[in-house]
Structure 1
């Protein structure tokens, strides 16, 4: 069982985007859908459960952490190639990280600190400086995800959309009853 979609939006994604000064309906929807696609809204925090289905060499190369499945390599790139050129934003993001844990295990923050992970996930998209599709354009969000976030061979837009409907729309309708 993962995290309730509306609670993830309300208590993690929205306040994180507001803290970064980047809040929009489209950004919220994109991050929520990304978490749905990448981890089933937190059902798994690593790709280790897929080990029996994947060669160990490929798993190590692609393994992501947390609800957004961010790879340590990508995490380092955000800091070393993007945030280095945006010191005010870097300071804001660093403020979301744990004081001591970030220094000893920075990648661990991706699995244990939801607001920090949401900020890094957002920056993976934001660093491209591309306009987002409308929040209601799920097909457009899926294309945006495929183009800017999930670059492994042949990421499935259909799977992104299916996870969106299963984890976000399905749960939202269930909690509204």
Structure 2
């Protein structure tokens, strides 16, 4: 069992997006859905033989490209993201932050979406639209589908709303 969806949204995703001046309910739900499909909201953080890690299962190469190709051209945003990272761990092992620092992983995952040329997030996006964004902009491998995203979202995110 992973982290409670509403707690994760309230105490990690929302404050992180606010620090990046990117607060929006739709962005929160996209990130929540991403964590739901990628790791069942943190039920597992690393799979043997995989190069992805953390609650969002971000690939280390993607992490590096976000810094080298996106944040390098946006120093003010880079400073905000660096401020979310741990002081020491980020310097020693930056990829470990994707697993051990939920706010940092959230910020970098958000930027993985934002940097994609096809990314636009309309207000009031449906779960299907969120799933399509995830598939086109984040998880382009064939091992999971849009329907998998919708199913996991309904199981872990919408069920959390029903209980709350």
Q: Please say whether Structure 1 and Structure 2 have the same fold, judged by a TM-score greater than 0.5.
A: yes
**Mapping of 1:48-127 within 5 angstroms?**
48=48, 59-60=49-50, 63-127=51-115
In the alignment, does 2:132 pair up with 1:147?
no
Which structure 2 residue ranges, 5 or more long, are not aligned?
Answer: none
Quote the offset at 1:128 in angstroms: 2.2
TM value normalised by structure 2 = 0.95
Using the alignment, how far apart are the partners of 1:171 and 1:96 within structure 2? 27
In the alignment, does 2:158 pair up with 1:158?
no
The Cα offsets for residues 75-96 of structure 1, whole Å up to 9 and x where unpaired, read as: 0010011000101000100000
* Rg comparison, structure with higher value: 1
State how many pairs are aligned: 163
The Cα offsets for residues 106-157 of structure 1, whole Å up to 9 and x where unpaired, read as: 0000000000000000000011253214444000111110000001135300
Q: CA RMSD in A?
A: 1.3
Q: 2:87 is paired with a residue of what secondary structure?
A: coil
Using the alignment, how far apart are the partners of 1:24 and 1:169 within structure 2? 18
